[in-house]
Amino acid sequence: NFITKFARYYTPAVCGGALVLAVLPPIIRMIMGESAMWGDWITRALTFLVISCPCALVISIPLSFFAGIGCASANGVLVKGSNYLEALSDTQYIVFDKTGTLTKGVFEVTGIYPANGFDESTIVGLASYAESASNHPISISLKKYFGKEIKRDSVSDIEEIAGHGVSA
């Protein structure tokens, strides 16, 4: 972020300085009746650009962001901007949307991995009964995965906790 702010002023100033150095002295020399020496002053302006090497630093940061966004895009991942790419550097886990959950809003249970001592049908049954009163998309997908009729009167004290789930 600092580099972006710095580049906003530094890069145009250096480019403008190089342009002035390439053009102004030869014009002044011509006004004074001397040889303009365009080649010498253009060489000096280019030397000035090379010496102002932080431009490479200033340019390298945006270029690396463009390369990262371009590479992600080539692999089918949309990154909306460099600030999001920078935030990804602190990310520990990434979830990709193969089933359309995020893009289409369609949730689907793709697998159940029970802990020791539990079987899949028991876990899915208990979760489906607990979710029986909810119309949340995740609840609907869980009940669809269960695939059996749920007797809501066999569940009591159902409480839907926003952002956390249900208890019953």
**Is the separation of the CB atoms in 131 and 166 below 8 Å?**
yes
φ, ψ at 159 (rounded to 5°): -130, 125
DSSP class of residue 152 equals G
Q: Residue 137 and residue 89: Cα distance in Å, rounded?
A: 31
Q: Residue 129 and residue 53: Cα distance in Å, rounded?
A: 67
3-state percent helix, strand, coil for the chain, nearest multiple of 5:
60, 5, 35
- Catalytic site residues? 97
Q: What's the chain's Rg over C-alpha atoms?
A: 32
**Is the separation of the CB atoms in 45 and 21 below 8 Å?**
yes
